[in-house]
Amino acid sequence: MASLLALLAAVFYGAADFLGGITTRRATMIGAVLVTQGAGLGVLLLVTPLLPDADLTRTDVIFGALGGITGSVGVGLLYLALAIGPMSVVAPVTAVCAAIVPLGVGLMLGERPDPWAALGVLLALIAVALLSQTETAGDERHAAPSRLGQGIRVALASGVAVGLFFVAVAQTTADAVMWPLAISRVVSLTMFLALAVATGRPAGVPRAAVAPALACGALDMLANALYLVAVRQGQLGLVATLASLYPASTVLLARIVLGERLGAWQQLGVAGAVGAIVLIVGNS
């Protein structure tokens, strides 16, 4: 069940990223983040009365807040990296780091996936990199090597922060239900509101961006909730790896909705993702 929930989380993470990309084409980064994250918090608060009673501990509050801080840093650095370097390089670096950090923490906590599942993890990391390739990646790499290097460094930091978010929320207890995510989102919104005030940037989005922004926020929160339930049932490293396959969903949506053609590397990445899923799910 944990593997299935993690895969669903990946699907919704990818869909949220797709809608987030559409939103940021029509709005400022700060405005887009505030609206999407606010929408996610609103959806969570709406369904809270339907959830079981929660027993929130100090540990849940602390790790929920840490999740908000690391998640905010990860999102901010990701947008900065995308502004500096090509998406075909930035996206896989961030996604792979986001998977490696929980894997390392899981190993330190004593998790030991069997050899086939471990092979699936390796294949998943390769698939994530392939899924984010574009046919112009080679030209972009040679165009501005200094900016490329800077973009990679920022993307590495973003991936580490996102990976730490995965780790932080995984440390919360099942009795806390979804409240750690609410705490995380409140912290994140507070940080970006402070950034908006400090920089004087607009905190809203144009009317044309409202619908994708709201949908993005709702899907992102759904993905977070699925990941949280999954990681409470399964191994941190394996669950985070499956959730990090989200670029497959983004690429497929771009193909279906925008008519973007899948390159040869991306097709190979989809195949690799399927193989990784079979290896991990079948041996976890």
Tens digits of per-residue pLDDT, 174-188? 999 999 999 999 999
Nearest to 243 by CA among 141, 148, 103: 103
Neighbours of 233 (CB within 10 A): 13
Please report the pLDDT score of residue 282 as a whole number.
64
> Which residue in this structure is represented by tokens 């099942």?
174
| Total tally of structural domains belonging to the chain | 1
Q: How confident is the model at residue 45 (pLDDT cuts 50, 70, 90)?
A: very high
* Residue with the two structure tokens 């399964």: 234
Please work out, in degrees rounded to the nearest 5, the angle formed at the alpha carbon of residue 155 by the alpha carbons of 256 and 104: 100
> Which pLDDT value is given to residue 278?
77
In three-state secondary structure terms, 89 is helix
* Host domain of residue 143: 2-282
What are the φ/ψ torsions at residue 246 (nearest 5 degrees)?
-55, -25
CB 85 within 8 A of CB 133: no
**Helix pair angle (58-84, 145-170), 10° resolution:** 160
CB 165 within 8 A of CB 70: yes
Nearest-angstrom CA–CA distance, 153 and 164: 17
pLDDT-derived band at 38, boundaries 50, 70, 90 = very high
210's CB contacts (< 8 A; 6+ apart) are: 35
Q: What is the pLDDT of residue 141?
A: 46
pTM: 0.84
